[in-house]
Structures are given as structure tokens and as C-alpha cells.
């Protein structure tokens, strides 16, 4: 045990790290499965899993949003522990991936699945989750960690500008 942490603090850090790994791994795996199945289904190499209600295509981001809302309510009102908390972390990772895989659609409100903004958003989310998994606690951050955090913040800011630039351009061109 390190002098700056109590046994309880170490247990909480261990649980947080384990849950973060579950969210991150499930997020990455779900993204890969969804992108691969969308690619293969779009080329008729496997059955297409699209859900159609009348003339409306129900995108998987809707299921991601519903899953995130349900998990949020479950975590707030049930306050699970143990295995139930681990299952909630896995479902949270799935919901996050389903939602951010179609980030470009909810940003640009276009029915175009293969948007760069979606892929970039997944990369940013995966990177942030990876930092939570691998990074030290706030108490243990050193100068090099803060330098990395500043670099990441600049990258996220640049990503935000690149994503929002088309919106600004279209708004001012009318």
C-alpha cells in the first residue's frame, strides 16, 4: 500500500479502473463489430441488419441513446454494485459505441453513415477512455502528464473546430 492511499481508496481506484477497462474494451469491440457488419452488409456479403419502419430507417444510434438513458437511470436509481455494476459498464460501452458510431449523422442531420466526423468522434472517445484506463489518478499526475493532458485538450479543441466548421460555413453562407 502506498502512503498516500488508504485501503479503501485503493479498492475504489481498482474498481474504477476495472470498470473503465470494461467500458473501453466493449466500446472498441462494439464499434468494430458495427462498422464491419455495416460494411459487409452494404456490399451484400452478409445479411443487412437494418431496421426499417415504413420508409424510415431506424439507425443504431437510436438504440445507443435508449441504452445510455436506461443505464443512466439504472445507475442513478438502483445504484448497483458487484457483478451488476460490471454488467452496467459493459452495456454503457455498447451504448456509447452505437451512439458515437453515427456521430456525424446527429451532428449534420444527414442520412449518410460513412461520415468522417463519426470515425473521428469514436477515435476521440476511445482515446479519452484509454486515458482513464491507463492514466494515473489526479493526485499522482506529474508535469509530463499535465503536458499530455494539454496536448489532448488541444487535439479535442481542434477536432471540435473541424467538426463544427461546416456548420458555421453553411450558416453564414445563406
Burial class for 26, CB neighbours closer than 10 Å (0-12, 13-18, 19+)? buried
Confidence at 151, pLDDT banded by 50, 70, 90: confident
Residues with Cβ < 8 Å from 137, sequence gap 6 or more? 13
Element (H, E) at 57: strand 56-58
Please tell me the predicted confidence (pLDDT) of residue 90: 96
- The domain segmentation of the chain, as residue ranges, is 28-173
pLDDT at 15 > cutoff 60: yes
Please tell me the predicted confidence (pLDDT) of residue 116: 65
Q: How many helices (H) and strands (E) does the chain have?
A: 6, 2
- The 10 Å Cβ neighbour count of residue 11 is 11
Q: What is the pLDDT of residues 38-78, one digit of tens each?
A: 778 777 888 877 777 888 777 788 899 999 999 999 999 99
Amino acid at each position: 500500500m502506498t502512503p498516500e492511499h488508504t485501503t479503501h481508496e485503493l479498492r475504489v481506484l481498482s474498481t474504477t479502473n476495472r470498470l473503465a477497462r470494461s467500458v473501453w474494451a466493449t466500446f472498441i469491440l462494439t464499434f468494430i463489430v458495427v462498422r464491419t457488419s455495416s460494411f459487409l452488409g452494404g456490399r451484400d456479403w452478409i445479411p443487412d441488419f437494418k431496421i426499417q419502419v415504413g420508409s424510415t430507417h431506424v439507425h443504431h444510434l437510436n438504440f445507443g441513446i435508449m441504452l445510455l438513458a436506461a443505464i443512466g437511470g439504472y445507475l442513478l436509481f438502483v445504484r448497483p454494485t458487484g457483478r451488476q455494476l460490471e454488467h452496467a459498464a459493459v452495456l454503457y460501452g455498447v451504448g456509447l459505441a452505437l451512439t458515437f458510431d453515427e456521430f456525424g449523422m446527429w451532428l449534420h442531420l444527414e442520412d449518410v453513415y460513412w461520415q468522417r466526423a463519426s470515425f473521428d468522434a469514436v477515435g476521440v472517445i476511445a482515446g479519452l477512455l484509454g486515458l482513464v484506463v491507463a492514466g494515473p489518478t489526479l493526485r499522482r499526475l506529474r508535469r509530463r502528464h499535465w503536458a499530455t493532458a494539454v496536448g489532448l485538450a488541444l487535439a479535442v479543441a481542434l477536432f471540435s473546430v473541424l467538426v463544427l466548421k461546416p456548420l458555421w460555413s453553411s450558416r453564414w453562407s445563406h
